[in-house]
Amino acid sequence: MLIKVLKELFHSELDKIYSKEEVFSFFHMLCEAYLDKSRLELALIPNLELTPEQETLFLKALEQLKRDFPIQYIIGNTEFMDLTFEVNENVLIPRPETEELIYWILESSSKEAKNSILDIGTGSGCIPIALVKNLPNSIIETMDVSEKALTVAKRNALAQKVNIKFIHHDILQLNDLDHDYDIIVSNPPYVRESEKNEMHDNVLKYEPDVALYVSDHDPLIFYKHIAKLAIKRLKKQGYLYFEINQYLGEQLYQILNNLGFEKIEIKKDLYGADRMIRAVKN
Ligand SMILES: C[S@@+](CC[C@H](N)C(=O)[O-])C[C@H]1O[C@@H](n2cnc3c(N)ncnc32)[C@H](O)[C@@H]1O
């Protein structure tokens, strides 16, 4: 099949499910991944004939896209903080909001600082890996309850040539941490079961439930538990950072305040939603 015919097929099958721009972007992401050709290179060779193997790959991806399977899982990677991360169905696809959380952490840390950092709920490893890349003298530990997520995160750390300590544990089962930290950060599960109707099918059907959902009767379970550990185990003037559910910022503010945290700040994401919070241990 010619590449231009394949492109037409993608639009005719997918334009009714996604916007034209999205289909265009999916098609070119697949061309980069399967043919190692950029959009500009392809424009010069519209009559490129695909091999049967290449055609099979594209047609499989087309079927997956029809079923809402995320393009990042099809390709097997995604970009985060200008780094490429392997992703599969065992890990959350890193989000731009989480990049904003990292920039916030970096703003208040000097590049030379020798911080001791703990990240809770590593997923693909995007937070600890991006942090250690930008704070190369820091010592970073990261934890996840999912062994499969840790396997992906370890491969990402290896690919990025960074040294991180990985801990397989359920944070909710820990009553204390091993030692003290300068920074504790977490993007824990925070979508309430009742908010599932706001989620897109690609997230609902394919991203891991363990990464996303909490019950409606105790949606801040992770935040309360982590904050209690953090008030014990952060060093003086140490920072606690969370990505948050946009509807629960004020509630979390009160919890952190009651625990004795100071300088509590809620920050909005690029879309104007309350998306992160930080607090300092006095
Ligand atoms: C919202 S995802 C965040 C993943 C990654 N940090 C990111 O920002 O893309 C939450 C992560 O917490 C992990 N997790 C869920 N419950 C946990 C628990 N009880 N203890 C430790 N990690 C947990 C999930 O496996 C998942 O990787």
* 46 pLDDT above the threshold of 90: no
**CA 56 – ligand 1 centroid, Å:** 34
Decide whether any atom of ligand 1 lies within 6 Å of the 211 Cβ.
Answer: yes
Q: Quick one: pLDDT at residue 42?
A: 87
72 belongs to a structural domain: no
Of 67, 91, 116, the last residue of a domain is: 67
Per residue in 50-92, pLDDT tens?
A: 999 999 999 999 999 999 999 999 999 999 999 999 999 999 9
Closest C-alpha to ligand 1, atom 14: 121
For residue 35, the enclosing domain spans 3-67
Q: Answer whether 187 contacts ligand 1 (Cβ < 6 A).
A: yes
> With a 6 A CB cut-off, is 15 part of the ligand 1 pocket?
no
Residues 86 and 164 in one domain: yes
Q: Do 13 and 99 sit in the same domain of this protein?
A: no
Ligand 1 contact, 207 CB (< 6 A): no
Residues 9 and 128 reside in one and the same domain: no
Question: What's the pLDDT score for residue 43?
Answer: 87
DSSP the chain: -BHHHHHHHHHHHHTTTS-HHHHHHHHHHHHHHHH---HHHHHT-TTPBPPHHHHHHHHHHHHHHHTT--HHHHHTEEEETTEEEE--TTSPPP-HHHHHHHHHHHHTS-TT---EEEEE--TTTHHHHHHHHHSTT-EEEEEES-HHHHHHHHHHHHHTT---EEEE--GGG-SS-SS-EEEEEE----EEGGGGGGS-HHHHHHS-HHHHEE-TTSTTHHHHHHHHHHHHHEEEEEEEEEE--TTSHHHHHHHHHHHT-EEEEEEE-TTSSEEEEEEE--
Asked if 15 and 149 sit in the same domain, the reply is no
Q: What is the pLDDT of residues 108-120, one digit of tens each?
A: 998 999 999 999 9
Do 205 and 88 reside in the same domain of the chain? Answer: yes
Whether residue 99 is found in the same domain as residue 40: no
Q: What is the pLDDT of residues 113-156, one digit of tens each?
A: 999 999 999 999 999 999 999 999 999 999 999 999 999 999 99
Residues 19, 90, single domain; the answer is no
Residue 110 resides in a domain: yes
Same domain, 46 and 158: no
Separation of CA 12 and ligand 1 centre (Å):
38
**Could you tell which of 126, 144, 207, 226 is best to mutate to test the pocket of ligand 1, judged by most ligand atoms within 8 Å of the CB?**
144
90 lines ligand 1 (CB under 6 A): no
48 and 84 fall within a common domain: no
